[in-house]
């Protein structure tokens, strides 16, 4: 009887094997001639070489499946154990799926304008996605970035946003630089956690495959072979926007997202996003996608809140215009 060991790398064995090792127990049933044990990140095999060779081939398919779809079930194992099991890895029954998130979540463009955003990114190297809260512009952009990274279209993802407080003074924040900046970047972390397993995401962040940084850190850089997202772009100044847009390298994708109704810059400070949209709209190589209330995919009450605020702002504008008109009469 021979023995062999297999090391599991960059995947949490407990997630792969399932609760109470149900997946591992099911896998063992396909190899009755082998003695299989596991401890930590290592699997030990005891048996004949032919059976161990077959186990290694099939186990690599399980690893690839889990890495691609972020889920492994007993039904998946049954299918992958078939002779044609390897062909299942290239099949995605949801042709519109952007990326498979954690626990098998299929992340797709769910509205007409989100699909327009996907097409725009496929067709252009730079895209502006403009719309109110909850329209999925940042989430869709992050999904596209993760897809590009998984498909090896880019070597890294760079996510950035201006560190501007949303109408409140946070004051002194304790901790090192990362801890001070993380609260501003939390929405980007939230999206990534839906799409990439915890340990793998931690490794990607540690080794710079995914970089999340404030906009100020972009100055002086050339971002090449990267998928770059500028989030909350309405809070950039004109100079910051120019600085960011000119960081683009030869083989990069840039997506700029923002909501012009939620500018948190000091009063009388014009938004760099509004300025950019006015001045790049005629550049053919740049795509512009506008999302609206019909694209809101948060709780249904969010649409009503956005509508109520929009109506109130319109009423206030009309009132101010009427006041100015009446003053001019005198």
CATH, residue 9? 3.30.1370.10
**134 vs 130: CA distance, rounded Å:** 12
DSSP 131: -
- Tell me whether residue 327 is in a domain: no
Report the domain count for the chain.
Answer: 2
- Tell me whether residue 128 is in a domain: yes
Q: For residues 81 and 158, state if they share a domain.
A: no
A 10 A CB-CB count for 183 gives: 11
**231 vs 218: CA distance, rounded Å:** 13
Closest CA to 246 of 272, 281, 219, 265: 219
34-57 mean pLDDT: 91
Segment (H or E) for 43: strand 42-47
**pLDDT tens, position by position, 214-237:** 888 898 899 999 999 999 999 999
- Tell me whether residue 36 is in a domain: yes
- Beta-strand ranges (E) seen in 75-170 are 97-100, 106-108, 126-130, 156-161
Q: For residues 173 and 257, state if they share a domain.
A: yes
- Tell me whether residue 275 is in a domain: yes
- Tell me whether residue 230 is in a domain: yes
Q: Which residue has the higher pLDDT, 112 or 83?
A: 112
Q: For residues 256 and 271, state if they share a domain.
A: yes
**259 vs 4: CA distance, rounded Å:** 57
Q: Is the pLDDT of residue 157 over 90?
A: yes
158-164 mean pLDDT: 85
Judged by DSSP in three states, 47 sits in strand
Q: Which of 63, 90, 117 is the last residue of a domain?
A: 90
pTM of the model: 0.66
DSSP 288: E
Q: For residues 79 and 159, state if they share a domain.
A: no
Q: Is the pLDDT of residue 87 over 70?
A: no
Q: For residues 163 and 239, state if they share a domain.
A: yes
Rg of the chain over all Cα atoms, to the nearest angstrom: 25
Tell me which residue range forms the domain holding 28: 2-90
- CATH of residue 285's domain is 3.40.50.300
Residue 167 pLDDT class (50, 70, 90 cuts): very low
Residue 169 pLDDT class (50, 70, 90 cuts): very low
Q: For residues 175 and 44, state if they share a domain.
A: no
- Tell me whether residue 263 is in a domain: yes
- Phi/psi for 246 (5° steps) reads -85, 5
Closest CA to 181 of 215, 206, 214: 214
pLDDT score, position 164: 66
Q: Which of 66, 90, 114 is the last residue of a domain?
A: 90
Q: For residues 32 and 70, state if they share a domain.
A: yes
Q: For residues 108 and 84, state if they share a domain.
A: no
Q: For residues 101 and 57, state if they share a domain.
A: no
**126 vs 113: CA distance, rounded Å:** 17
**CB pairs under 8 A, 24+ apart, for 80-85?**
81/30, 85/58, 85/61
DSSP 264: -
- Tell me whether residue 316 is in a domain: no
- Tell me whether residue 221 is in a domain: yes
**216 vs 160: CA distance, rounded Å:** 9
Q: For residues 134 and 75, state if they share a domain.
A: no
Q: For residues 168 and 111, state if they share a domain.
A: yes
Share of the chain above pLDDT 70, in %: 88
DSSP 176: S
**pLDDT tens, position by position, 260-303:** 988 988 877 899 999 999 999 899 999 999 998 767 766 667 76
Q: For residues 133 and 175, state if they share a domain.
A: yes
């Amino acid at each position: 009887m021979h023995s062999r060991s297999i090391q599991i790398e960059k995947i949490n064995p407990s997630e792969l094997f399932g609760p109470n090792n149900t997946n591992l127990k099911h896998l063992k049933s396909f190899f009755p001639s082998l003695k299989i044990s596991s401890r930590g990140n290592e699997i030990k095999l005891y048996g004949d070489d032919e059976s161990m060779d077959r186990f290694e081939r099939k186990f690599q398919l399980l690893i690839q499946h889990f890495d691609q779809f972020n889920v492994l079930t007993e039904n998946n194992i049954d299918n992958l154990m078939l002779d044609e099991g390897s062909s299942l890895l290239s099949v995605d029954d949801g042709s519109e799926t952007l990326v498979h998130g954690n626990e098998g979540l299929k992340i797709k463009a769910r509205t007409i304008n989100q699909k327009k955003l996907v097409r725009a990114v496929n067709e252009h190297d730079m895209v502006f996605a403009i719309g109110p809260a909850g329209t999925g512009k940042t989430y869709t952009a992050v999904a596209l970035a993760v897809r590009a990274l998984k498909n090896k279209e880019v070597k890294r993802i760079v996510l950035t946003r201006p560190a501007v407080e949303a109408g409140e003074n946070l004051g002194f924040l304790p901790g090192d630089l990362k801890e001070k900046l993380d609260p501003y970047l939390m929405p980007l972390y939230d999206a990534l956690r839906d799409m990439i397993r915890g340990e793998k995401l931690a490794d990607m962040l540690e080794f710079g495959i995914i970089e999340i940084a404030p906009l100020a850190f972009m100055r002086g850089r050339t971002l090449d072979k990267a998928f770059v997202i500028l989030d909350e772009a309405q809070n950039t100044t004109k100079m910051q926007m120019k600085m960011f847009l000119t960081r683009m390298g030869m083989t990069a994708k840039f997506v700029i997202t923002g909501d012009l109704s939620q500018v948190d810059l000091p009063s009388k400070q014009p938004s760099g996003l509004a300025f950019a949209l006015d001045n790049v709209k005629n550049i053919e190589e740049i795509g512009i996608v506008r999302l609206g209330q019909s694209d809101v995919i948060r709780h249904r009450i969010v649409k009503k809140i956005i509508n109520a605020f929009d109506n109130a702002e319109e009423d206030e504008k009309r009132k101010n215009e009427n006041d100015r008109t009446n003053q001019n009469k005198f």
